[in-house]
Amino acid sequence: MEVLRLPLSASQKGKLISAGYTSIASISSTSPSHLALELKVSENEALEILKNVSDGSRLKRTSSSLTVLNGAQSAWDMLQEEETTRVHITTSCADLDSILGGGISCKEVTEIGGVPGIGKTQLGIQLAVNVQIPYDYGGIGGKAIYIDTEGSFMAERALQIAEACSHDMAEYSRLYHKGPQACEVKTMQPKDFLENIFYFRVCSYTEQIALTNYLDEFIPKHKDVKVVIIDSITFHFRQDFDDMALRTRVLGGIALNLMKLARKFGVAVVLLNQVTTKYSDGSFHLALALGDSWSHASTNRIILHWNGDERYAYIDKSPSLRSASAPYSVTPKGIRNSSSNNKRIKHI
Amino acid sequence: MGALNYLTVENASIDADFVQFCASHGIFSVEDFLVHDVYVLVASAEKLSNSDRLKQGINQMLSIIETWHQPWVSGQVLLEDREQNKHCLSTGCKSFDMLLQGGLRVGHVTEFVGPSSSGKTQVCFQVASNVAIKLGSVVFIDSGNSFSPTRIKQIVTRISGSVETWVHGILQQAMRNIECHAVFDVYALLNVLQQLKSSLESQAGYKVRLIIVDSVSSLIAPILGGSNAQGHALIASVGYLLKKLADRHNIAVLVTNHMVSGEGGTLKPALGESWKNIPHVRLQFSRDHATNIYGVYILKHPYMASGGSANFTIP
């Protein structure tokens, strides 16, 4: 039944099958008015059905390219592409960057989860600032989209981090770019950093789904966007959801949309997640929220946790990185390497 | 198959009169024709004036239908086909191969099921690299952006030994043999499989030996369940295409699946009962986080007992 493979609604497929059209060839040979008469639908609908059919069959034309399928890339070409273009966003913490292979990679969906207060939003804001570091300073010179579901984005904190980043860049240029080159390299002001962050605030899960669909149109209009940060993806899905099966389906759809965005536009998608308690093998332990099916939605997964008094990041899932863990700290300047005076303060 | 009107284009004896005659019996499509009793049709055709033309039309229909179904084959032919064409593809990992008595069998759809981060994608990379170096080309259909060329390069370098210049030539050849295609919804997957089928039918020279779909559950889960039954129909279509590709063109098909929670807090494979019967071989993966040893366990196999298991590590 080839008709089943077409992206049409169930009622349209039912009408096609009961009128006797089960193969794509038989549909494409009829005219729209004839089809409209047979199926008892409007001519516009018949035109739409035929368009869907012809879109599908257009792919069947064999091309002269080396690959068996149109639109596929050989692994060798992908490797060359990966090795030549710079695709990592630094996190400003050298240890974390080294276990991540340079930073958060573009074209992939990275999920970062942890207990409250561990620094997820801080890491999100740091990435939104770091993506804008110009090419000359080792960054990728892009813009950021920050989708806030919890209301935890503070513009003052972003300004503080941007100031620290700008200060670091000025110092770097003073040390490494001497002579006439120093004048050419432009420095970014903290205000410029904030201007390049597109901020969206969503207040319900339907808004979240709508926004994910809208990004498909938004990103081509703003081609510099290189990172999409969603903080946090769980908030609207945890309360008030009665139908768990619906939640799984909706999350599955969002996950596919985000994967498509990452691949199509070459942006890094960073999802911040909360934790929940799971009971297994007789003990309770912390696991990321949204269930087992969501755990397959991201390409990479990083778990942030406390180890004694220090903050640690652990790579839980990655197709190309080894499992490793690295300490980091949250300072007034943002996320930095861990040092002895940044540990957790215990209140007595 | 389809509407009778479509057949009038190519066949002279199925003309407008014949179509009208069929319509008078309530036959509008080939399926309706098959459901009707042929003798009753012939008898009623006898009573009309143009009975010869109508009987010719009925015979023409029957001969067209003959050409559309699969031919009957004897067990001997099947056994010969199995000996000559349906070999095993080694996975590159000894304990895995021993568990499967040789490796992934061509003509079978093998499923890797396991919780997140249990080694499924890594073993897929391993098998893909092994097949790409030694046997033929590999098509990797990726739905989660998990295809990583750097990781493939590491695996190919490790498998083919460490002689530098020699390795570079092999690396390029092997990586050219692996094609990666990203799909993000099930209709795109069906399009890709259909396209692959047509190009394999037309170009006889192309040696695709392995198709990997990673992962099929993330594509189907968003449309499964709910009020309509489209999801189950699409599972059946995907399964049908994969099996046809595997059998007709001597390809091994590898699919990965997730796990969801079942009764009592245990995990069970996703996609439910409709998918359960589609793969020939089902293997369940597990990972011991403390020691980093992966385990694989046979859930279903056509000729081996389920319950066998093996351990392996991924370097």
Partners of B184 on chain A (C-beta within 8 Å) are 256-257, 259-260, 263
| B245 in reach of chain A (CB within 8 A) | no
Separation of alpha carbons B85 and B79, rounded Å: 10
Least confident of A335-339, B129-133, B181-185, B261-265: B261-265
Which amino acid type is present at position B137?
A: S
Which pLDDT belongs to residue B160? 75
With a CB cutoff of 8 Å and minimum separation 6, the contacts of B164 are: none
C-beta separation of A233 from B203 below 8 A: no
Evaluated on CA atoms B189, B190, B193, B195, the torsion sign reads: negative
Model confidence band, residue B217 (pLDDT cutoffs 50, 70, 90):
confident
Contact criterion met (CB below 8 Å) for B70 and B91 = no
Chain-centroid distance of CA B217 in Å reads 14
CA distance B15 to B9: 9
The amino acid that residue A147 corresponds to is: I
DSSP B47: T
Q: Is the dihedral of CA A13, B190, B146, B245 positive or negative?
A: positive
The distance of B2 to chain A (nearest Cα, Å) reads 5
Give the distance, in angstroms, between the CA of residue A109 and the centroid of all CA atoms in the same chain: 4
Residue B223 per-residue DSSP state: G
CA–CA separation, B124 and B89 (whole Å)? 12
Closest CA to B218 of B267, B255, B264: B255
- Please tell me the distance from the alpha carbon of residue B255 to that of residue A264, in angstroms, as a whole number: 24
CA distance A195 to B209: 52
How far, in Å, CA of A252 to CA of B173, rounded? 36
What residue in A sits closest to B262 (Cα-Cα)? Answer: A292
d(CA A325, CA B224) in angstroms, rounded, equals: 37
The answer, yes or no, to whether residue B1 has pLDDT greater than 60, is no
Q: Which two tokens stand for residue B161?
A: 């030994």
Average pLDDT, chain B: 81
Segment A61-66 long-range contacts (CB within 8 Å, at least 24 positions apart): A62/B198, A62/B199, A62/B202, A62/B203, A66/B176
Q: How confident is the model at residue B3 (pLDDT cuts 50, 70, 90)?
A: low
Q: With CB atoms and an 8 Å threshold, state whether B4 touches A20.
A: yes
Token pair 């400003």 is found at A92
pLDDT(B151) > 50: yes
pLDDT at residue A146 is higher than 90 = yes
Region A172-188: mean pLDDT is 64
Q: Does a cis peptide bond (omega within 30 degrees of 0) precede residue B202?
A: no
| Residue B139, burial from CB neighbour count under 10 angstroms (0-12, 13-18, 19+) | buried
Residue B36 in contact with residue B18, Cβ under 8 Å? no
Q: Which range, A28-37, A163-172, B27-36, B304-313, has the best average confidence (pLDDT)? A: A163-172
Strand-strand pairing, B109-113 and B281-288: parallel
Residue A61 above 60 pLDDT? no
Contact across the interface for B145 and A259, Cβ inside 8 Å: yes
What share of chain A has pLDDT > 70, as a percent?
84
Residues on chain B touching A279 (C-beta within 8 angstroms) = 265
pLDDT at A64: 39
Could you write out the DSSP letters of every residue in B235-301? Answer: HHHHHHHHHHHHHHTT-EEEEEE-EEE-GGG-EEETTHHHHHTS-SEEEEEEEETTTTEEEEEEEE-
Contact B240, B188 (CB under 8 A): no
In three-state secondary structure terms, A146 is strand
List the structure tokens of A101. 């292979």
> What pLDDT sits at residue B5?
65
**Residue B114, CB-side half-sphere exposure with 13 Å CA sphere:** 25
A65 confidence band (pLDDT: 50, 70, 90): very low
Is the pLDDT at A60 greater than 50, yes or no?
no
Pairwise CB contact (< 8 Å): A248 & B265: no
DSSP character at residue A66: S
User: Are the beta carbons of B111 and B120 closer than 8 angstroms?
Assistant: no
Indicate the residue of B179, B222, B265 with minimum beta-carbon distance to A253: B222
Could you write out the DSSP letters of every residue in B70-89?
PPP--HHHHHHHHHHT--EE
Instruction: Flag if B151 and A263 touch (Cβ within 8 Å).
Output: no
In angstroms, rounded to a whole number, what is the distance separating the alpha carbons of residues A101 and A124?
18
Note whether B113 and B285 are within 8 A (CB).
Answer: yes
Pick B155 or A347 by higher pLDDT: B155
Token duo for residue A147: 């989708």
CA distances to A88, A161, A337 from A327, in Å: 19, 20, 7
Judging contacts by C-beta atoms under 8 Å, the chain A residues touching residue B150 are 79, 82, 320
Residue B61 predicted with pLDDT over 60: yes
Averaged over A85-89, what is the pLDDT?
A: 76
Residue with tokens 């691949």: A263
pLDDT band with cut points at 50, 70 and 90 for residue A281: low
Q: How far apart are CA A245 and CA B283, in angstroms?
A: 26
CB B218 within 8 A of CB B170: no
| B window 119-138, beta carbon within 8 A of A | 121-122, 125, 132, 137
HSE-up of B15 (CA within 13 Å, CB side)? Answer: 9
Which pLDDT value is given to residue A102?
85
Min mean pLDDT across A215-229, A316-330, B53-67 is at B53-67
Asked if A23's CB is within 8 angstroms of B1's CB, the reply is: yes
DSSP state of B3: B
pLDDT tens per residue, range A291-326: 777 888 788 889 888 888 888 888 888 888 888 888
Name, in order, each residue with C-beta under 8 angstroms of A148's C-beta and a sequence gap of 6 or more: A199, A200, A201, A202, A231
Spatial distance between the Cα atoms of A316 and A324, rounded to a whole number of angstroms: 8
Which residues partner with B269 through β-bridges?
B259
CB A100 within 8 A of CB A320: no
Examine the pLDDT at B95 and tell me if it is beyond 60: yes
Chain B residues inside the 8 Å CB shell of A70: 195
